[in-house]
Structure 1
């Protein structure tokens, strides 16, 4: 323990104490007859009393060195998804018992963290095995970020090994061994399942669209199966199928006609006389949006270029769009009948087009290229030099405007995009889709974004080089991600601006285990955010049952958490409390999440491979005691000792008060005894 104070404070306290003591005891005639040795004792008491009081006025600091011992961490990742108990409900109880034993037996040697996971980490939550979606690779990645620079002894992964979300391979960034504990049965069972009902997201009234069914049959060789397909709750197809082997798959394609507009359901169910172990995966439902008219898209460019060719080719042959092409140097046509404008590259005439776009409030998507000057109502760019940077794509996980799973799978392999070197400023309320990854370093600089400014919804893809992504695509599955990215971007910007001043951020699709949260912004006449008026949300399900919700007014915007909704089609309207004028109308669908029922056979091979690659071991849930014994003898669990300096004000210590009190009491007693009071 030590005291820290400035030299000046000590000197001033000493001088002031010396002067006051000398004046009181050696200049005062009352003390002249007191014995010298008593006078010296009294003077010493007075000196130290004054010194302590004056010194404390300078706020000295007392420093205490404290030794801390930090135990190592044991991180236990627990699969909290429905597949654990779907086949055998007793497996969930086995997992609970195993996790409790790990905490009880190992808590003395380490800090045990029980962390449930699904598509993310849910530390602190209980085990209910109701989550849909297992992403082991993301859970381990999040774990390495959350416990970076921590003393981790080992990691335990308790799971059935069924990964149905994210990358198929698992790469651990943790330096600690991962011990895996296998749950569930790896043996085949009797089960018929609808794995998928695939079709376009959008079709047009009067058109026919293709539907593909993906069915799986386990242990049903030779057993007749009946398949029923319903479109908008009306049976449209029925057929039978007899599996030809123990593990059989069937893909079936057919066409349906879109006879009316709106959100329509397509469902498929399979049944047989044989005993099916799992019934929850015997049916599946999806939704398609049927719209009245095709969307008119106008492409504007400088002519033929690699980016222009790949962007336009995405829409060729797609009967959901009516396409027209213009050059920047041409006259701007009447944009009243145009749903979206796609600008490819830059020109001295670009601002002329943007002014006309701004007048009509039509949405636009701009692939900026790298040449020319960028200075207009929507964005500005200050070029720092004439060079271009090659940047990689990094999906912004906060973006929820539409599904980006295709890009997520491919983002690490996508060729780089060339962007001009400088500073960009995008006006309006931004939603970032992609960020830039420069030299392997992740940044928050946007590469692709959407914004809303002055009533216009627009998207900006900075730079050029999208054509390189076309060379990356080598099969139909790879090609789908760029098609979906561009067509969904067009649909996002094609919605006309709302003249009421209300701007709602809402997805078209939700899952039945996903909380529906809404944010509404309202602009006043001078384009300032305001929420002075109360706002209502009216929700109607497919049966015509309505519910009314009140938005919360938070800061200068509106928020609403509807919570969980059953799967189905919903329509909504938003307006002020008087309901005299509705501001927004629309619809969305809630899909049933059945990811966990699509694969109910445990995959212990994945767990064994992960343990082998990280110098761990694989155990069955029944052998949890063997794992505990192994960890107790492991040399990976080492406590860390470190010293910590604790700072506090000296005046807070009680012993200072008692020293002053004792000295003052002693001085008073002696002075009383000598009769000099």
Structure 2
């Protein structure tokens, strides 16, 4: 307590004493017992009130020992089971956790990782991907300010993410890697990578690129073939040696039939090859008979044009041409959809054509849009003329139902610039994105869709959408989410199909190591999204004829079911509404490919490297006793004595308030009882 506070308390004692004596001693020759009690009560009341005004602070110090963390990260991917190391991993984990000296010295925390990392008490080795990169990135955030030696129990094989050697360098904790698997190098042939487009066009040829790799000493020849069913559609003899241990093959396959066409690439294995799973790989291509041609019509140059073209053409079923108004008029019949970018008076013929043909269009306005001209055309939307500009951020309308829109965290995207003014719609419309100005979310449309007299329209009130695509990449390290959003909007506008009460969103085929998600929307008779309906999907394996039924889960403005646990095969399905007799069917295929089974042994070189770089150590699972001994004897890992100082102001002490109330009440009662009031 400070000296100044102590002086104030002494002064308070003097003042309280003087007040009490003045009240009960002044002009009184001798104090009676009753007056002494009253004086004491008055002293307590006044002193307590004065002390409350001073409000001194009291400090308490709590001393405790903080043990270092021992972080155990266990590879939970299926490659551990495939390499027959699951029992070794679980036994080692149990040995460390149950060791009494380890429990006494460390605060043990167990994580499991596959494509993501999480705290866990259950490990089943069923994850389909391994991402060691994300392990070190997340641990670097969690254990940045503590002593946390990290035991990494893994085979060291990574299937997704950046190279974990670089992310481990930024992790400032000692790493103790435990190698699960065989370090012996066996002769092995494998298909390292196969690249092919998702779509091809009927009566054309589509390119295929294959990377083949050989690990071994002796030179050899083998055959590479591609089969479609029982038919061989491509074959080539390839030669390998110790020095010439990789081949890149580029070839073309014919697209003769519409639909999903499945193929199997096979690299004929060695006679005594240990791992033959990585010698073949399935792939599929969807053959379509035509592209959707989209025209972007603009009279100005802007980065948005290139961003839109890239996003739309991310789906190979679509082709984009950027034209000026005059060029578009000459080729207008070639396009299924036109995007009007910041139209002005030069678009007269374009709007005349769209009006006469009743074609769908997407209008994007910005600071160079001539809204006075557009308002004169009597379109389905008009904008108040203010000659001012404004920056608008986006807020997703979760009630939008024309197609499924997932939240890309639009509120974190950069604002779009546009003319200031409230849009006025003359026909029914649905808002996809609302405008947000500063921190104020409005009910004005930033992006909206319209359907009227058989024509579909969309309008975006803002330019610089290229910044959204760039921000999406910064957030997700991929353009896919933003491109899918634009793709769904284009698909909706380019389609002439009538709206149905049950709509589905799914792929024709899925890679064996990817998520199998099917999304659906259900509408009531007024075509409003119905969130109270129960949807289910009945999936039938075409080969085994086994059927399973799964429920859909509601997510914002759509339903979703995850079928990732289904084995590789061809499936047909029926989605049904429980309360109404409405259903929709389809087919999809899951390709047979488990990337976790492509590894023959552990990657002990990288695990040794990250351990040595971090002042840790690497072990094979057989010498785990040495690991425990090193952890217990390392002088770097000692409990740290810490203290916690707690400062409590007197005003927070409720008992002082009770004391004041009691002393004042007692004084009043005694005075009242004795007729002194």
TM range, smaller chain = 0.5 to 0.7
Describe the SS at the equivalent of 2:138: helix
Q: For the residues of structure 1 that align with 2:295 and 2:555, how far apart are their CA atoms?
A: 39
Q: For the residues of structure 2 that align with 1:297 and 1:488, how far apart are their CA atoms?
A: 16
Query: Structure 1 residues 519 and 268 mapped into 2: Cα distance closer, same or farther (>3 Å)?
Result: closer
Describe the SS at the equivalent of 2:122: coil
Q: 2:608 matched to which residue of 1?
A: 608
Pair 1:285 & 2:282 matched? yes
Select 2:139's aligned residue among 121, 140, 143.
143
Pair 1:590 & 2:590 matched? yes
Pair 1:276 & 2:273 matched? yes
Q: For the residues of structure 2 that align with 1:339 and 1:239, how far apart are their CA atoms?
A: 40
Question: Structure 1 residue 581: deviation in Å?
Answer: 5.1
Pair 1:67 & 2:62 matched? yes
Q: 1:388 matched to which residue of 2?
A: none
Q: For the residues of structure 1 that align with 2:388 and 2:351, how far apart are their CA atoms?
A: 19
Pair 1:158 & 2:160 matched? no
Structure 2 residues without counterparts, runs of 5 or longer: 2-18, 25-30, 375-380, 392-403, 424-429, 435-445, 451-455, 471-477, 666-677
Pair 1:643 & 2:644 matched? yes
Query: Structure 1 residues 462 and 539 mapped into 2: Cα distance closer, same or farther (>3 Å)?
Result: farther
1:339-365 per-position Cα deviation (integer Å, ceiling 9, x unaligned): 44456x645369987999899785759
Select 2:464's aligned residue among 462, 465, 469.
462
Q: 2:4 matched to which residue of 1?
A: none
Q: For the residues of structure 1 that align with 2:358 and 2:639, how far apart are their CA atoms?
A: 68
Which range moves more in the overlay, 259-268 or 372-381? 372-381
Pair 1:496 & 2:506 matched? no
Q: 1:212 matched to which residue of 2?
A: 209
Q: Would the aligned equivalents of 1:207 and 1:258 in 2 still touch at CA under 8 Å? A: yes
Query: Structure 1 residues 600 and 319 mapped into 2: Cα distance closer, same or farther (>3 Å)?
Result: closer
Query: Structure 1 residues 61 and 372 mapped into 2: Cα distance closer, same or farther (>3 Å)?
Result: farther
1:180-208 per-position Cα deviation (integer Å, ceiling 9, x unaligned): 33333333114333333332110123322
* Greater helix content: 2
Pair 1:265 & 2:262 matched? yes
Q: 1:29 matched to which residue of 2?
A: none
Q: TM-score, normalised by structure 2?
A: 0.64
Q: 2:75 matched to which residue of 1?
A: 79
Question: Structure 1 residue 119: deviation in Å?
Answer: 2.0
Question: Structure 1 residue 641: deviation in Å?
Answer: 1.9
Q: 1:445 matched to which residue of 2?
A: none
Pair 1:93 & 2:95 matched? no
Q: Would the aligned equivalents of 1:534 and 1:551 in 2 still touch at CA under 8 Å? A: no
Q: Would the aligned equivalents of 2:345 and 2:370 in 1 still touch at CA under 8 Å? A: no
Q: For the residues of structure 1 that align with 2:251 and 2:333, how far apart are their CA atoms?
A: 37
Q: 1:32 matched to which residue of 2?
A: none
Question: Structure 1 residue 80: deviation in Å?
Answer: 2.4
Question: Structure 1 residue 568: deviation in Å?
Answer: 3.5
Q: 1:13 matched to which residue of 2?
A: none
Query: Structure 1 residues 546 and 297 mapped into 2: Cα distance closer, same or farther (>3 Å)?
Result: farther
1:41-80 per-position Cα deviation (integer Å, ceiling 9, x unaligned): 98799999999xx99xxxx999884626333323232222
Select 1:129's aligned residue among 122, 125, 132.
125
Q: For the residues of structure 1 that align with 2:110 and 2:235, how far apart are their CA atoms?
A: 48
Describe the SS at the equivalent of 1:74: strand
| Aligned residue pair count | 591
Describe the SS at the equivalent of 1:170: helix
Describe the SS at the equivalent of 1:153: coil
Q: For the residues of structure 2 that align with 1:142 and 1:634, how far apart are their CA atoms?
A: 26
Q: For the residues of structure 1 that align with 2:518 and 2:532, how far apart are their CA atoms?
A: 17
Describe the SS at the equivalent of 2:149: strand
Q: For the residues of structure 1 that align with 2:382 and 2:159, how far apart are their CA atoms?
A: 41
Pair 1:536 & 2:535 matched? yes
Question: Structure 1 residue 508: deviation in Å?
Answer: 6.1
Structure 1 residues without counterparts, runs of 5 or longer: 2-18, 26-35, 386-399, 405-417, 432-449, 469-480, 665-677
Question: Structure 1 residue 651: deviation in Å?
Answer: 12
Q: Would the aligned equivalents of 2:214 and 2:240 in 1 still touch at CA under 8 Å? A: no
Q: 2:180 matched to which residue of 1?
A: 183
Q: Would the aligned equivalents of 1:212 and 1:252 in 2 still touch at CA under 8 Å? A: yes
CA RMSD of aligned residues (A): 6.3
Query: Structure 1 residues 635 and 324 mapped into 2: Cα distance closer, same or farther (>3 Å)?
Result: closer
Q: For the residues of structure 1 that align with 2:530 and 2:449, how far apart are their CA atoms?
A: 19
Q: Would the aligned equivalents of 1:205 and 1:260 in 2 still touch at CA under 8 Å? A: yes
Describe the SS at the equivalent of 1:274: coil
Pair 1:113 & 2:109 matched? yes
Question: Structure 1 residue 315: deviation in Å?
Answer: 10
Q: Would the aligned equivalents of 2:115 and 2:160 in 1 still touch at CA under 8 Å? A: yes
Query: Structure 1 residues 194 and 506 mapped into 2: Cα distance closer, same or farther (>3 Å)?
Result: same
Q: Would the aligned equivalents of 1:178 and 1:617 in 2 still touch at CA under 8 Å? A: yes
Select 2:293's aligned residue among 273, 278, 296.
296
Describe the SS at the equivalent of 1:597: helix
Which range moves more in the overlay, 119-128 or 422-431? 422-431
Query: Structure 1 residues 638 and 66 mapped into 2: Cα distance closer, same or farther (>3 Å)?
Result: same
Query: Structure 1 residues 599 and 226 mapped into 2: Cα distance closer, same or farther (>3 Å)?
Result: same
1:216-257 per-position Cα deviation (integer Å, ceiling 9, x unaligned): 3444846675655332x3433475757542584344444333
Q: For the residues of structure 1 that align with 2:179 and 2:510, how far apart are their CA atoms?
A: 32
